[in-house]
Amino acid sequence: MPKSSKKKKDKAADFNKAKLKLGKGKQTPSNAVDTSFKARSIALPSQSIAVEKDGDAPTTKRRLTFDALIMHLKHYNAATRRDAILGLRELLEAHPELIGTHLTTLVNNCIRVIGDEDSNVRKALLSFFTWLFRQIPRDDLIPHSPVLLLFTTSAQTHIFPEIRIDAVRFLDIFLEHIPDVVTEGWTQHASGSHGRRVLEGYLGILSAGTSFGEGGDTGPVQATSTASVVLSATSKLVVLRSLAHFLSHAVAVSGRSSDATLESTSTVLATPTWYFSSSFASTPAFEAFDALLRPTWNPSSSTSQYLGSASRAWAPEFSEDCEEDFVGQFDFAVTPSTSAWTIQDLSDVVAEVNTSNEDKRSGSNGPDPQVIAAAHVARTLHPTLVSTFLDCAPAVFSPSTTPPETETQMVLVVCRICRSLYGRILQDAAESGRSHDTAEDDLQTMLSYLSPYFPFTVNGPVHAKRDIKLEQYFQDLNLIYCELSSFLVLASQGSERRPPTLHKQKARSQRGRPALSKDSAMAVSARQIERVSQYIVQLLRGEPPSSGVQPSLPRPITPQAYVSLLPTVWSLINGGVAEVSDASTSLFSTVADHAIKVSSTSAVKRYTIDFIGRLVLLDREPEYQGSFRNGRNPEQDGKLQEWITQLPKTLWELGGSHLPTTEVIIRLLLRLSQRRSRLLHEATYSSLRSRLVPYFSISHPTRGKINGPYAKLPANSPIRRLVLDLVATIVGNVPDKADTTNADLVAAVAEAVQGTAEEPYWAGITMSVR
């Protein structure tokens, strides 16, 4: 018994709490580790009294200096890093002079936060960079671009998808301020160039292949991306929009890119003329034609500066330092007769010139590397673009619901990427005659998916509230669709200039491909051209699309929209296809009526003059090979003559403002008179002379003689003498010297130049026409 009771007590002891005696603490366990320490002082370097502090250093509201904020960027706590970024903006807004002195330190420490794992820190840095880069001159920012792009492209390949998406947002900021640096070297396959790494990062995020098989751009695509995360619609929109922005800058060549027409924020847009090149026998002939109406006035400069010199003095000897392009040393003109060329020498020169021209047309020198790179990227992205459009199209073009904004922007961005890539490729096909069959087939495939919805209109309930932003999206879609259609037409026109060897190569490359018959392909093309032509007519007339469900008010066309339509208009009126001749005639009539009726103060007026003016100048171009001709259609010639006779009225209404437009009008009338255009008949000359008189002098019933707008032109400007050249040329072309309008115009000019620097010049040029 004692043994059993003892065992019970021992077991109970393990579960009983020991009672502590009063006044005694808890007993220390026998296995406790002593962690106490003793120190005579505590070192706090940042608060040491031995450190000299600059009391005049700028600080934030939390009394943090620039150096302290830079140290906080490396803190382990994400909230501290975010507060440091916010503090930097607060400090630099209050003391902007610190940006220039601490820019290197600021950039080198901020770039390490681009790939931060905390989303709030990255969001704060995005906002900070957006504000900071607007305060920094571009020349000061470029030296720091290598490290900025290095860390950003590294973040593009981060393991976390959200960091990759934010890296794309950083690229958007860089593309806004230093686009040429971001896109530099995108055509090179070497991984050391910034543009190539950025492009591969885009393709990697989209899970698109970045290389091709053995067949080059004709082989199967090999997916090289390891990304397996499916992007959400919002994230995919961010990537595609940034990629579209990147490509629009990358493929821009000599101002020929059509992307700027819809997205440019500048008040002055350049009128594109590249689409005329496919109708000329050689590139120099097109460039000479393009320079006919190019003004010397520089819109970006002050009102007293010109691209060329104001006046030129005659010099009997040519100076090598002179920058003129119409003078030179012509050795063969002064060569002694003893060294005359033989027949064999002339034959050799002719053969060499013919060989050179044949090489240029056949593309023996090889296509542009930029075109090759654009074709490579277009072939890579084609499946992604098609799948994205097919995923979003049902929701965007649904007849019963309002289009969601995200999917609508996705469709618009896909079309912009197509315009950038296929536009650059097929522009080369139109200009050089090279064949890009794969790009043409891919673009035709994309247009086949777009065509059922064209023209694109905002659908949904009739009583729904109008969304101006959505209407602008759909108008941009319509304009891009018209451009893409014109690219195919212009490329087919350019292919007609290919040498026979290229046609044979194209035929061999297309063997074994399933293709539509010629009649069916023409039928599809004709229907497409008719719908595009009808939409352009409605747009120029200010009419809303007929297929829209929601009511829409008519509105005048914008300069960006008009400029973007010019390649399409030219491709249709120059097509020469009998099946769509009625649509082409109606389109030309509408374009001419719009150019006549548009106000002189309208922002579109300058572009109508540039386009219609070049159409009337084509008649006398010796190397022009297009189908569009003046003199074949009396109704068409009547429209152009009416437009020409109203140009003096436009000159008078412009007055001393809009000097570039004034110079273009004067140059156009001068070129037409010098070339004896068939559109200038005796009645047309008489109308021009009578309408030019008020430009120099006006007879008021009560005030008498009043100076016309000619007196408002800048003193000693080339435009003043250019107008005098125009008058002298028109007067010299008059068959009947006794015409009263002739004498009235000469008298008005003589009175306007009396006592000015142009009076001797006018006297000199009129001596030759009397």
d(C-alpha 712, C-alpha 724), whole Å: 15
At 332, which amino acid appears? Answer: F
**What's the distance, CA 63 to chain centroid?**
46
At 496, which amino acid appears? Answer: E
d(C-alpha 615, C-alpha 609), whole Å: 10
Q: What are phi and psi of 61, to 5 degrees?
A: -65, -25
Note the pLDDT of residue 770. 56
Q: What are phi and psi of 297, to 5 degrees?
A: -75, 135
Note the pLDDT of residue 702. 75
Element (H, E) at 519: helix 518-541
Low-confidence ranges of the chain (pLDDT < 50): 209-227, 253-258, 260-267, 299-311, 326-328, 361-364, 498-524, 549
Q: Which two tokens stand for residue 178?
A: 């230093």
Q: Distance of CA 133 to CAs 82, 93, 106, 199, Å?
A: 19, 13, 12, 23
Say if 715 falls within a structural domain. yes
Range of the domain at 701: 681-770
d(C-alpha 228, C-alpha 341), whole Å: 72
Residues 6+ apart with CB under 8 A from 378: 421, 422, 425, 439, 442
List the one residue out of 379, 374, 369, 490 whose CA is nearest residue 429: 490
Burial class (CB in 10 A: 0-12, 13-18, 19+), 306: middle
Say if 406 falls within a structural domain. no
- Say if residues 605 and 661 touch (Cβ distance below 8 Å): yes
Element (H, E) at 452: none
- Say if residues 269 and 426 touch (Cβ distance below 8 Å): no
d(C-alpha 632, C-alpha 626), whole Å: 14
Question: How many Å is the Cα radius of gyration of the chain?
Answer: 36
Cβ-count burial 666-702 (b if 16+ within 10 Å, e if not): bbbbbbbbeeebebbeeebbbbbbbbbbbbbbbeeee
- Say if residues 68 and 57 touch (Cβ distance below 8 Å): no
List the one residue out of 585, 437, 452 whose CA is nearest residue 505: 437
d(C-alpha 502, C-alpha 609), whole Å: 38
Dihedral-angle region of residue 551 (phi above 0 means left; psi in -120 to 50 means alpha; beta otherwise): beta
Say if 600 falls within a structural domain. no
d(C-alpha 81, C-alpha 71), whole Å: 9
d(C-alpha 173, C-alpha 238), whole Å: 13
Neighbours of 655 (CB within 10 A): 17
- Say if residues 480 and 446 touch (Cβ distance below 8 Å): no
Say if 760 falls within a structural domain. yes
Say if 352 falls within a structural domain. no
The number of CA neighbours under 13 Å toward the Cβ of 395 is 14
- Say if residues 539 and 557 touch (Cβ distance below 8 Å): yes
Say if 768 falls within a structural domain. yes
User: End-to-end CA distance of the chain, in Å?
Assistant: 154
| Confidence (pTM) | 0.77
Q: Where are the alpha helices (DSSP H) in 136-160?
A: 138-141, 145-156
Q: Which two tokens stand for residue 18?
A: 């020991």
d(C-alpha 13, C-alpha 399), whole Å: 83
How many domains does the chain fold into? Answer: 1
Q: Which two tokens stand for residue 12?
A: 């109970």
d(C-alpha 407, C-alpha 400), whole Å: 16
Burial class (CB in 10 A: 0-12, 13-18, 19+), 351: exposed
- Say if residues 364 and 216 touch (Cβ distance below 8 Å): no
Burial class (CB in 10 A: 0-12, 13-18, 19+), 33: exposed
Q: Is the peptide bond before 714 cis (omega within 30 degrees of 0)?
A: no
Say if 770 falls within a structural domain. yes
d(C-alpha 745, C-alpha 697), whole Å: 9
- Say if residues 222 and 212 touch (Cβ distance below 8 Å): yes
Q: Distance of CA 769 to CAs 49, 694, 727, 766, Å?
A: 95, 22, 11, 5
Note the pLDDT of residue 255. 41
Q: Which two tokens stand for residue 411?
A: 């469709």
- Say if residues 718 and 306 touch (Cβ distance below 8 Å): yes
Residues 6+ apart with CB under 8 A from 432: 360, 361, 363, 367, 494
- Return the ∠ at Cα 675 (arms to 674 and 681), rounded to 5°: 95
Burial class (CB in 10 A: 0-12, 13-18, 19+), 53: exposed
Note the pLDDT of residue 324. 52
Q: Which two tokens stand for residue 39?
A: 């120190």
Q: Which two tokens stand for residue 652?
A: 């008078």
Note the pLDDT of residue 274. 84
Neighbours of 219 (CB within 10 A): 12
List the one residue out of 677, 688, 702 whose CA is nearest residue 745: 688
Note the pLDDT of residue 261. 44
d(C-alpha 707, C-alpha 699), whole Å: 9
**Sign of the alpha-carbon torsion through 748, 754, 760, 763:** positive
- Say if residues 478 and 411 touch (Cβ distance below 8 Å): no
Q: Which two tokens stand for residue 653?
A: 């209404």
The number of CA neighbours under 13 Å toward the Cβ of 635 is 7
Note the pLDDT of residue 34. 83
- Say if residues 210 and 203 touch (Cβ distance below 8 Å): yes
Residues 6+ apart with CB under 8 A from 663: 295, 296, 297, 718, 719, 722
Say if 722 falls within a structural domain. yes
- Say if residues 204 and 382 touch (Cβ distance below 8 Å): no
Residues 6+ apart with CB under 8 A from 132: 89, 92, 99, 106
d(C-alpha 249, C-alpha 239), whole Å: 16
